[in-house]
Amino acid sequence: MVLGGISLYGQENVNRKIEALMGKMTLEEKIGQLTLFTSGWDQTGPTLHDGYKEDVKSGRCGNLFNAHTAAYNRELQRIAIEETRLGIPLLFGYDVIHGYKTIFPIPLAEACSWDMALAEKSAHLAAKEAAAGGLHWTFNPMVDIARDPRWGRIAEGTGEDTWLGSQIAVAKVKGYQGNDLSDPTTLLACVKHFAAYGAPQAGRDYHTVDMSERVLREVYLPPYKAAIDAGVGTVMTSFNELDGVPATGNDFLMEQILRKEWGFEGFVVTDYTSINEMVPHGFSKDEKQAGEQALNAGVDMDMQGAVYQSHLAQLVKENKVKITDIDQAVFRILKMKYALGLFDDPYRYSNEEREKNTLFSKEMMDHAREAGRKSIVLLKNESIEGRPLLPLAKSIQKIALIGPLADNQEDLLGTWHAAGDASKVVTLKQALTDALPNATITYSQGCSTETDNRDGFGPAMDAAKAADVVIMAIGENYRQSGEAASRSELGLPGAQQALLEAIYQTGKPVIVVLMAGRPLTISWMHDHVPAIVNTWHLGTMAGPAIADVLTGAYNPSGKLVITFPRNVGQIPIYYNMKNTGRPFDAKNKYTSKYLDVDNTPLYPFGYGLSYTRFKYSNLKLSKSTIGFNEDLKVTITISNDGEYTGEETAQLYIRDLVGSVTRPVKELKAFQKVVLQPGESKTISFYLRSDDLRFYTRSMEYKAEAGDFKVFVGGDSADVLEADFELK
């Protein structure tokens, strides 16, 4: 791996410098390099509590997170450089998840763009802004595959699909780290949460994870591996246990898989106090033992737990941990500080002038809007009086804009919005007012996203009655998804469902703008409301991005990366399920199904409408049989049968019909975007090779097996054309 032009184990020169420095370090100072503490916040900004400041001065803490801004971090860095014995620079980390100050769409939203260049650019711009704010290191990308929308952190990932998630992981690492970590517009990235944090039982955050090694390797591990292969410098452990062993003490994950199989050479940091948490997990009798287990399992840096700080020296004395292991961890961390250029100039990320010119620059805001509109998924758009309700007809005079998210700034930022500034968010009300200067827009909040108070229903209904069309901005507030925000019901929170039904009763056409951090269960809405625009939480430029779609300035192109269930009881529901021995048959009671709900989702993976209509035809394969080293060419024609220019994401899935272990009914293997003018057709080609057909066989070998396959191409995972081929 090359970081900042430094090959991690390659460059003798740097290695020698680090070794020379380590030769001067006391054990306490070494342990300091393995220690990461948070900076807290007061009214005016970040503050470091006095104990930590002393720790920095004495060399007992070599890394900080949640401290930012060029000036503040410069002062902390000054303490490390000028007031510590060895002057080793501090490393500053932060959760820059979907932007630093300018906030881009939440990751789940952005993944719906299926646009890798966009995903990379968001990461690059977030890095540029954050690095201008004094930061070196982001705790991102989060690549945890999630199939359970009850889990609030589904908002932070890229959805349910392993293959797509792996592509996005690569784009993010490239975007954050660039080609040179010492470039002050890049950040060191951290892939998290290793491993399988996205599969907690019952969707409850931090809960137990238990799965077969096959599922672990096939479904959950590939996106972390993709990030490692793309050169990510750091890995964060997860809070959960896996097969009875907490991830932070799990040598199978960290030593066997990460270091031996994948050759990872960067450093591993824990999640927040996750070493300490091995005690309540029931894996360690006390924190001292937890520290021993973590270090011996391969954890280099302790986030916030102070376990290494308190116990490692004693553990060395007792021969429970090896000094050589501590040295190796210190070496890995110092190497990263070298790669970031901090030994050349510890203040290179603290340039106030650059900070001023970068934060909220036009480049950031333009990208926020572009990323926002590409993330939006049009779920439904029925015709009223012979014309689809969206885009809004030019003739519309009076709009009632209703709902707790319609003129709301902070909630549109979504979960983990770092140092995002709510006052900079352009609301939907503002954006619609700007976009439609000739329309009268009457705003009424109606209710909140949390309470059952219905006092606002009356004014909202009056506004609706007086309007030509109603736009309702409803969904989740920013605290209702994300960490520690699991939900057992996924309907509209608070009184919003009741408000929606009351407004619907007025008989006015309703467009729902659904803002949320996860798929909600919206069967009633789907059955009654003519138009639904799922916008997720889009960040600083949410309002203009949504207005672009509502007015038709942008033709929606997003496709779901997560299945929308009909109800919570269907969860986990995902497109690449297994067939079972009794696949659904409506005429046979004894097949796999429910008595009270269909097996199908409300909206499948890959689904999303456009203002135009795409038609797929002429699926052709170059051969009906391919050898293990041959390409299969798959062609299909896509036509735009509607009235608007539009962008379509054509998706290719396969099914391996018989395997030494059973295979999913569909697996995404490729996609392509095509832009088509009205009336235009294009024929596109995909190439499949036997490498694309690999899986973990009965004997856990990763390879393709000869046999019969299906290939499917279409605009979503359910609506496809299909053909057959054989691998021989």
Indicate whether 95 belongs to the interface with ligand BGC (CB under 6 A).
yes
* Residue nearest to ligand BGC as judged by C-beta position: 139
Indicate whether 483 belongs to the interface with ligand BGC (CB under 6 A).
yes
Collapsing DSSP to helix, strand or coil, 330 comes out as helix
List the one residue out of 615, 623, 597 whose CA is nearest residue 726.
623
Around 572, how many Cα atoms within 13 Å sit in the side-chain half-sphere?
20
Which residue, 279 or 621, has its beta carbon nearer to ligand BGC? 279
Can you tell me which of 110, 115, 129, 271 binds ligand BGC, judged by CB under 6 A?
271
For ligand BGC (CB under 6 A), the number of binding residues is: 6
Cα–Cα dist 246/196, whole Å: 11
Within 102-161, the residues that bind ligand BGC by CB under 6 A are: 139
Indicate whether 347 belongs to the interface with ligand BGC (CB under 6 A).
no
CA distances from 479 to 150, 251, 521 (A): 14, 34, 18
- Catalytic residue status for 271: yes
Distance of closest approach, residue 700 Cβ to ligand BGC, in angstroms? 30
Is the CB of residue 665 less than 8 Å from the CB of residue 655? yes
CA distances from 98 to 106, 110, 539 (A): 6, 9, 8
Cα–Cα dist 295/335, whole Å: 18
Indicate whether 277 belongs to the interface with ligand BGC (CB under 6 A).
no
Distance of closest approach, residue 483 Cβ to ligand BGC, in angstroms? 6
Within 218-237, the residues that bind ligand BGC by CB under 6 A are: none
Can you tell me which of 272, 347, 360, 524 binds ligand BGC, judged by CB under 6 A?
272
Binding-residue pattern over the window 431 to 470 for ligand BGC, x denoting contact by CB under 6 A: ----------------------------------------
DSSP characters for 623-689?
A: -SEE-TT--EEEEEEEEE-SSS-EEEEEEEEEEESS-SS---S-EEEEEEEEEE-TT-EEEEEEEE-
Distance of closest approach, residue 304 Cβ to ligand BGC, in angstroms? 8
Distance of closest approach, residue 119 Cβ to ligand BGC, in angstroms? 19
Which residue, 227 or 549, has its beta carbon nearer to ligand BGC? 227
Which residue, 192 or 518, has its beta carbon nearer to ligand BGC? 192
Is the CB of residue 479 less than 8 Å from the CB of residue 520? no
Which residue, 271 or 716, has its beta carbon nearer to ligand BGC? 271
Catalytic-role residue among 115, 144, 161, 271: 271
Residue type, position 536, single letter? W
Name the packing angle between helices 307-317 and 287-297 (round to 10°). Answer: 80
Residue type, position 482, single letter? G
Binding-residue pattern over the window 43 to 82 for ligand BGC, x denoting contact by CB under 6 A: ----------------------------------------
Is the CB of residue 597 less than 8 Å from the CB of residue 566? yes
Distance of closest approach, residue 95 Cβ to ligand BGC, in angstroms? 5
Distance of closest approach, residue 96 Cβ to ligand BGC, in angstroms? 10
Cα–Cα dist 564/574, whole Å: 9
Binding-residue pattern over the window 486 to 525 for ligand BGC, x denoting contact by CB under 6 A: ----------------------------------------
Can you tell me which of 192, 655, 663, 666 binds ligand BGC, judged by CB under 6 A?
192
Indicate whether 630 belongs to the interface with ligand BGC (CB under 6 A).
no
Which residue, 14 or 97, has its beta carbon nearer to ligand BGC? 97
The two three-digit tokens of residue 347, written as one number = 């203040």
Binding-residue pattern over the window 537 to 576 for ligand BGC, x denoting contact by CB under 6 A: ----------------------------------------
Q: How many residues does the chain have?
A: 728
Rg (CA), the chain: 26
Is the CB of residue 162 less than 8 Å from the CB of residue 143? no
Tokens 């209702």 correspond to 480
List Cβ neighbours of 19 (8 Å cut-off, separation of 6 or more): 331
Distance of closest approach, residue 677 Cβ to ligand BGC, in angstroms? 44
Is the CB of residue 140 less than 8 Å from the CB of residue 647? no
Cα–Cα dist 598/456, whole Å: 36
Distance of closest approach, residue 132 Cβ to ligand BGC, in angstroms? 20
Tokens 């009850």 correspond to 150
Which residue, 412 or 418, has its beta carbon nearer to ligand BGC? 418
Residues that bind ligand BGC (CB under 6 A): 95, 139, 192, 271-272, 483
Catalytic residue IDs: 271
